[in-house]
Structure 1
Amino acid sequence: MDLKLGGKTALITGASMGIGEHLAETFAAEGVHLHLTARSTDKLEALKARIAETSDVSVTLHPLDLTAEGAVEQLDAAIGHVDILINNAGAIPSGDLWDVDQDSWRKGWDLKVYGYVGMCRAFYTKMKNAGGGVIINNIGNGGEVLDPKYIAGASGNASLMGFTRALGAFSLDDNIRVVGVNPGPVDTDRIYNMLKKRAIKDHGDESRARDLAKGYPLERPAHKHEVSDIIVFLSSYRSGYVSGTIVTVDGGIASRRSII
């Protein structure tokens, strides 16, 4: 299936690892030019080098901490038009109400919740002035499951789901599509770190993390491509009537009403 993405330009936040890293490689394989931002310069440079070996696209790096004052404005000024914005940066800490202190809660929301809002505010205007575009918010199924042991992430993700639906409800009037994607557990370091933390808290044994993972559909987290392929498809013209909605990619976990 030709997604007709060749020659488009995408900006991906949180691009140095995990889903963001895999998204960069997947978009590049479709011929999409890239602007990549994350805090780690070394990881971004290594990713750019790998993409250069397999794809003939331009890759521009923007090593930034998006929570720093003026960072979004700096990124906005440095980048001209982009066709696609992928909001992906952020990892809200796991734990219950007493595990996550106020500073950690604010830090997690500053990057992910307020970060997504700020990026949308900046780049929606650019897209509107240029005639259109696509914004994909990579959120997480924690906003559907509402697990008290992931309370900061559950409430933050639920907020972003509402934000995405509200912004995307009328965005097609400006020829802009705004879509949310809710991955469940994905085969990245983050999910195993969360499972280890849960295994220690609930069982006093970090090694039980792998046992917890066996409770997932197919007894595994999602492969990264199972999330990135959906996001790339949603970014394409073949998904041209999808806006103001959330696509859940979690093997049915949210429907089971259990995070694990």
Structure 2
Amino acid sequence: MQQKLKEQNVMITGASGGLGERIAYHAAKEGAEVILAARRKDRLMALKQNIADETGAKCRIIALDVSRTDDIKAAFQEAGPVDILVNNAGFGIFENALDASLEDMKAMFEVNVFGLIACTKMALPHMIRQDKGHIINIASQAGKLATPKSSLYAATKHAVLGYSNSLRMELAETRVNVTTVNPGPIQTDFFKTADKRGDYVKSVERWMLDPDQVAKKVVSAMMTNKREINLPGWMNGVSKLYQLFPALVERAGRSAFYKK
């Protein structure tokens, strides 16, 4: 069976669980040499062993907290050339804007935005030199349609989309692709931090995405010029409608938006 990612180095941040873990598995199955980066080295070591047992693929691990931008350069020096970078590390905390702490604001931007940009800057020179590569940024439908109690999280994801769209235009004359992944809620540990009371999870549980299915779509898009991956389709439809008729969507969706 032909493996589309054979001899490609794929680095994934936030790889120790959830969507990042599943992307790592599927990239390894496609023949990639996977570089797992995350804070929890014990989880990474266990995942590395599982990937080796299940796929036989090469796999390396790097302990990295992307909020520590000073450590990112060293991590990429250790990783070596990266052909595909998946900026997956990120978190959210759902609070009213008035109640959200400045510490949470700083932490979310450091991980979701500054860390993503710093990792991208480290990976790009090699990609541009070889005139081939792929930056995949895990954003969110929250980057297209903000809702109550997600002001800070939505702001970070709006920033990711803005950065990605500009970067894509800057790289238009190269064969380096930029893809944003904009999922709705996914069944991962994300909500243990974002939604400590569990109210939001209860209200959207039946619509939650399977991380394995999202991961398959991400891996299938690797080294293609796909602009965006938007999931689920109906939620992306609401986001598109919002761009055209924001006041109407805000009024019509008010009761649903407040289910956090």
Q: TM-score range by the shorter chain?
A: 0.7 to 0.9
Cα distance change, pair 51–254 in 1 and its aligned pair in 2 (3 A)? same
Q: Are 2:139 and 2:182, in contact at CA under 8 Å, matched by a contact in 1?
A: yes
One-letter identity of the residue aligned with 2:55 = S
Query: Could you tell me which residue of structure 2 aligns to residue 252 of structure 1?
Result: 234
Q: CA deviation at 1:57?
A: 1.6
Separation in structure 2 between the aligned mates of residue 195 and residue 255 of structure 1, nearest angstrom: 25
Give the counterpart letter for 2:60 in structure 1: T
Q: Alpha-carbon deviation of 1:173?
A: 1.5
For residue 193 of structure 1, report the CA deviation from its aligned partner.
Answer: 5.4
Note the alpha carbon deviations across 1:24-44, whole angstroms, 9 max, x for none. Answer: 111111111011110001100
- Spell out the pairing of 1:91-102 with structure 2 (5 A cutoff): 91-102=91-102
Aligned to 1:121: 121
- Going from structure 1 to structure 2, the CA distance change for 1:197 and 1:151 (only over 3 Å counts) comes to farther
**Equivalent residue letter for 1:56:** G
Aligned to 2:85: 85
Please name the residue that 1:176 is paired with. 176
* Cα distance, 1:111 vs structure 2: 0.9
The structure-2 alpha-carbon separation of the partners of 1:29 and 1:181, relative to structure 1 and needing over 3 Å to count, comes to same
Q: Distance in 2 between matches of 1:209 and 1:141?
A: 16
SS at match of 1:247: strand
Q: Where does residue 216 of structure 2 map in the other structure?
A: 229
Structure 1 counterpart of 2:207, one-letter code: R
Match of 2:136 in 1: 136
Matched, 1:213 2:195: no
Q: CA deviation at 1:163?
A: 0.7
Distance in 2 separating the partners of 1:184 and 1:254: 8
Q: Is the 8 A contact 2:66 2:116 kept in 1?
A: no
Q: Which amino acid aligns with 1:227?
A: V
User: 1:34 is paired with a residue of what secondary structure?
Assistant: strand
Distance 1:151 1:48, change over 3 A: same
In the alignment, what sits opposite 1:166? 166
CA drift of 1:170 comes to 3.5
Gaps of 5+ in 2: 240-252
Alignment match, 1:8: 8
Task: Report the number of matched residues.
Answer: 242
Check the 8 A contact 2:62/2:79 in 1, yes or no. no
Structure 1 position 175, deviation (Å): 1.5
1:84-137 alpha-carbon deviations (Å, 9 max, x no partner): 000001103222212321111111110111111111111111211233200100
Residue 68 of structure 1 corresponds to 68
The AA in structure 1 aligned to 2:21 is: E
SS in 1 for 2:179: strand
Query: Percent identity, aligned pairs only?
Result: 26
* SS across alignment from 2:31: coil
Q: Partner of 1:55 in structure 2?
A: 55
Kindly provide the amino acid, as one letter, of the partner of residue 66 in structure 2. L
Structure 1 residues 187 and 21, CA gap change in structure 2 (3 angstroms): same
Question: Per-residue deviation at 1:197?
Answer: 3.3
Aligned residues of 2:69 and 2:115 also touching (Cα < 8 A): no
Whether the aligned pair in 1 keeps the contact of 2:92 and 2:190 (CA below 8 Å) is: no
Q: Cα distance 1:51–1:151, how it changes in 2: closer, same or farther (>3 A)? A: same
Letter in 1 for 2:209: A
